Amino acid sequence: MAALPFSPTCGKSNSALHPNYSSSFTPRNHFCRLFAIRTTCSSRKVRRRRKLCVKNVASDKRKELQEPVTEQGSLDKFMPDSTSITSSIKYHAEFSPVFSPEKFELSKAFFATAESVRDNLIINWNATYTYYEKKNVKQAYYMSMEYLQGRALLNAIGNLQLSGPYAEALRNLGHNLEDVANQEPDAALGNGGLGRLASCFLDSLATLNYPAWGYGLRYKYGLFKQLITKDGQEEVAESWLEMGNPWEIVRHDVSYPIKFYGEVISGENGSKQWVGGENITAVAYDVPIPGYKTRTTINLRLWSTKVSPQEFDLKAFNAGDHAKAYADMKNAEKICYILYPGDETLEGKTLRLKQQYTLCSASLQDIIARFERRSGKTLNWDTLPDKVVVQMNDTHPTLCIPELIRILIDAKGLSWEKAWDITKRTVAYTNHTVLPEALEKWSLQLLQDLLPRHVEIIRMIDEELIHEIIAEYGTNDLDLLQQKLQKMRILENIELPNSVIELLNNSKEISAIDPTKEVDVNDEKIKAAEKEEEKEKEEKGVDGDEQSGKVEAGKETRLTFKVDPKQPMMVRMANLCVAGGFSVNGVAEIHSEIVKETVFNDFYQLWPYKFQNKTNGVTPRRWIRFCNPDLSNIITKWIGTEDWVTDLEKLAILRKFADDEDLQLEWRESKRRNKIKVASFIKEKTGYVVNPNAMFDVQVKRIHEYKRQLLNIMGIVYRYKMMKEMSGEERKRRFVPRVCIFGGKAFATYVQAKRIVKFITDVGATVNNDPDIGDLLKVVFVPDYNVSVAEVLIPGSELSQHISTAGMEASGTSNMKFAMNGCVLIGTLDGANVEIREEVGEDNFFLFGARAHEIAGLRRERSEGKFVGDPRFEEVKAYVRSGVFGAYKYEELMGSLEGNEGYGRADYFLVGKDFPTYIECQDKVDEAYRDHKRWTRMSILNTAGSYKFSSDRTIHEYARHIWRIEPALLV
């Protein structure tokens, strides 16, 4: 292993996904042994006797299952009925136990049911993998730090078209399918839209039969579980794995070594060897992802980290030093403990970087091993981009670029030129943000310590990039060149490479240019070179004036660009993604234009062919068909087919029925039934009782200042203040009853976001207990918002708020889910809102606020003291400060909306600027809601116009324009 430190430990896999795998107890054969348990009992005191009868309901398929799948497919479609499913569930309750045998309660029923479903999935899972291996198809690999999957049971049986048989089977066993499904915890593998998008993409990839895998990390505790107390948000560890995960299969034979720290040793032939340091192992956990109405079942491979048992220091343990005994084990395991560990400390930053490298290294080693195995004797590294494409979901997987180069050079013996060329044709990058703080940067020193070989490679990439910039712009205009390098370099505030300095000093244009004095930037190699140069000058008798930067005519000088020794040296990961990837895409039309015009404008000028737009989408299976069956049945009835579930463009047919009174009546009744479910859910989760006849106004998403939950709650405070100033009769005439629902997590160290959560809950506590207001206004914060909560709230919502500061939301995906479910949106022209408004119609979208192109000017006006706040906004701030919502002091929160400059001041997100148009737009919402026919028509047209926002459409575009992969259909 020392000679090949990064070769996989699974040279020839025995994985159940591998075509040569064989076992007397494979899940496939195991599914074919379905047991029917018969119980007889003469009295309650008589001990039950069980007769286990083997029922081979699938035995006629066994021989075929053992044969490899042909191009046409030798597996006939096998659809279990409720009888065989009942036997399968009984079998798992008896022989795959994670609970005691005495009772068959809901939790036990869930696990037995999930394992029964997994048996079905494994049949297709193995067949899919075998087919990909045999055909050696080009495969896409989606790299993401997050996968916000939600519960899997109903989604899986829905995709398998077995919802009816499973419901009947569970009724036979004394349970309700919905109650059983509610026992499943959400997989705590993600946080927000980034992770939900990744999961939607996997669903669409499988449904559309595209050959693809997802790669991520198996977080033991997820982000955190959110509790809402009198102090606001509190965080506790997620417990989603406490009782095990029936969907995953650990692959003990699929593991790869991961290295940190150490040093790089150069060989005589120029080779590099990364030695020493800290060594851990990444182990694969596989989760099946089934497609809808297709046998294709793709794989989500999650990595968990560990060290070998030999690392346990038994001597230290027996000597009483227990912490030292298992220090190495805990150090390895903690890499996969938490999603996004706090990075306020060096330890937190180091852990985050370890997570990112673990994902990249383990996944790429796995991908390379698969490429080599499929290539066999015809292995040709030049063909890697023809068989593999790696999509980086945001900048978290950026280390894929230097890691792929490292593997190709150090482990596979390729030259730098070839490895760099292959990498640039293999890796693609999706940008998800224009926020400066979200464009990831890492300390060069931290990277140097943790990943010394990768820093060498990043320096080489930076050098290649600089030479390409110089080739494009020349050296005539050094001011322009310096501007380009400052914006485009991967290494920030770091000296130019020697090769570039020599190029600049050897160029003919230098004689006509004033030299720029070099600045000491504490780089050891540059320092050594400078000392040597100074020594040579002293020996040659160079005078002091020349050394101080004064140059005599005809004398040679050393030219470089200034850096600031007081500023940190950083690595800009987004710039590395653009330089090292063959494609860069934004996730909404407006976002992609901002990416080209602002965020990466210099790169766009250099490589315009790299930049694309791929507007996000969501899967209509989970987000209409399964979470809103009532509405789905209405859609199917009026469209005349259920094909819309995989061809969402058919939703447009609803437009011609939008004014039909019968459809409107059915539509309203469906929405009311969903609202009753939401009201029951709110009572269960918060204790608040809300009226289903009120408008349900919802804003659920990650808590962040730019998403402007603060604008929403300030608008609610204004509404409440106005109500309190009116008589009872007047307020009933003036206001439509509303239930204002919030949900979302504030990052644990994001103080201002947590203040916003506290503020919302304080307003709710006051308003909800005010007898003068009653059902006219309720404010509810639903704790621990996740996919399962969204699946309840979204079908019952009527107004949804997507009110981010224009130009700051890349896309959003919840806006798409709400529109699909007939919810009317209020929002700014930001992210996908722009395209949603175009598709559903301007009259069916409540628009307010400044436009993206105005934002910079408005902030400049603010800094110049020209902004004058709306009197109504000033009244609301004073009202909050009066203490009406409790003793908590909101000075920091209100203060952030005041002043003209300074950190945490000056209303950077323009809450005050947009407040007047926001509350005026809310008056228009009330007016529209009073007209039931108008509102229902708007609701129908939102669903009808949402067809563009299917993740199926997005994935088709990725597959055709970026990945260049074709469907591989198992028949």
pLDDT digits (tens, 9 = 90+) for 518-565: 444 444 544 555 556 565 555 544 444 433 334 344 444 556 677 888
pLDDT value at residue 154: 96
Catalytic residue among 218, 220, 625, 702: 702
Gyration radius (Cα) of the chain, Å:
31
The H or E element that residue 491 is part of is strand 491-492
Question: What total of structural domains would you count in the chain?
Answer: 2
Could you tell me the residue range of the domain that residue 772 belongs to?
Answer: 620-852+929-949
Angle at 282 between CA 244 and CA 450, to 5 degrees: 130
From 610, 731, 817, 937, active-site residue: 817
Active site residue 387: no
DSSP 99-164: S-TT---HHHHHHHHHHHHHHHHHHHHHHHHHHHHHHT--EEEEE-S-------HHHHHHHTT-HH
Q: How many CB atoms lie within 10 A of CB 65?
A: 19
- The answer on pLDDT for 33 being more than 60 is no
In a domain, 962, yes or no: no
Please, which residues bridge with residue 274 across strands? 264
pLDDT of residue 74: 38
- How high is the pLDDT of residue 548? 37
Segment 807-832 mean pLDDT? 97
Q: Is the pLDDT of residue 23 over 60?
A: no
Please indicate whether residue 702 is annotated as part of the active site.
Answer: yes
Beta-ladder partners of 407: none
Task: Report if residue 181 sits inside a domain.
Answer: yes
Q: For residue 258, is pLDDT > 70? A: yes
pLDDT in tens, 660-691: 999 999 999 999 999 999 999 999 999 999 99
- Domain-embedded: residue 941: yes
378 falls within a domain: no
Which one is catalytic: 813, 828, 936, 954? 813
Q: Which listed residue (108, 701, 758, 937) is catalytic? A: 701
pLDDT, tens only, 748-795: 999 999 999 999 999 999 999 999 999 999 999 999 999 999 999 999
The lowest-confidence range among 98-107, 610-619, 629-638 is 98-107
Assess whether 937 carries a catalytic annotation.
no
Residue 903 pLDDT: 86
Encoded tokens for 94: 């008896």
Is the pLDDT score of 508 beyond 80? no
Inside any domain, residue 684: yes
Poorest-pLDDT segment among 34-38, 615-619, 924-928: 34-38
Is 706 within 8 Å of 750 (Cβ atoms)?
Answer: no
* Higher pLDDT among residues 9 and 90, named by residue: 90
Give me the pLDDT at residue 56, please.
37
Both tokens assigned to 71: 């191009």
The b/e string for 431-446 (b: 16+ C-beta within 10 A; e otherwise) is bbbbeeeebbbbbbeb
- List, for residues 170-186, the tens digit of each pLDDT value: 999 999 999 999 999 99
Of 101-105, 705-709, 849-853, 928-932, the one with minimum mean pLDDT is: 101-105
Is residue 745 predicted with pLDDT exceeding 90?
Answer: yes
Q: Which of 54, 61, 52, 120 is nearest to 85 (CA)?
A: 120
Query: What does pTM read for this prediction?
Result: 0.88
Q: pLDDT value at position 435?
A: 80
Query: Catalytic residue at 252?
Result: no
- Taken in order 774, 778, 784, 788, the sign of the CA dihedral is positive
When pLDDT is averaged across residues 610-614 and rounded to a whole number, the result is: 98
Determine whether 70 is an active site residue. Answer: no
pLDDT at 533: 55
- Report how far residue 673's alpha carbon sits from residue 474's, in angstroms, rounded to the nearest whole number: 68
Band (pLDDT 50/70/90 cuts) for residue 502 is confident
pLDDT tens for 856-883 read 999 999 999 999 999 999 999 999 999 9
The pLDDT, as a whole number, for residue 221 is: 95
CA distance 257 to 281: 5
Active site residue 322: no
Q: What was the pLDDT predicted at 559? A: 62
Instruction: Mention every residue, 6+ apart, whose C-beta is less than 8 A from residue 875.
Output: 718, 721
Residue 520 counted as domain residue: no
Find the mean pLDDT for residues 433-455.
92
Residue 910 belongs to a domain? no
Q: Percent of the chain beyond pLDDT 90?
A: 78
For residue 626, the domain's CATH number is 3.40.50.2000
Identified catalytic residue from 151, 432, 621, 704: 432
- Tell me: pLDDT of 726 over 90: yes
Mean pLDDT of 951-961: 98
Residue 73 confidence (pLDDT): 40
Is residue 820 one of the residues assigned to a domain?
yes
The per-residue pLDDT of the chain, averaged, comes to: 88
pLDDT band for position 327 (50/70/90)? confident
Q: DSSP states of 859-928 as a string? A: HHHHHTT-----HHHHHHHHHHHTTTT-S---HHHHHTTSSSSSTT-TTTT-HHHHHHHHHHHHHHHHHH
Predicted confidence at residue 7, as pLDDT, reads 37
pLDDT at 740: 98
Residue 12, pLDDT > 80, answer no
User: Considering 55, 118, 374, 707, which one is annotated as catalytic?
Assistant: 707
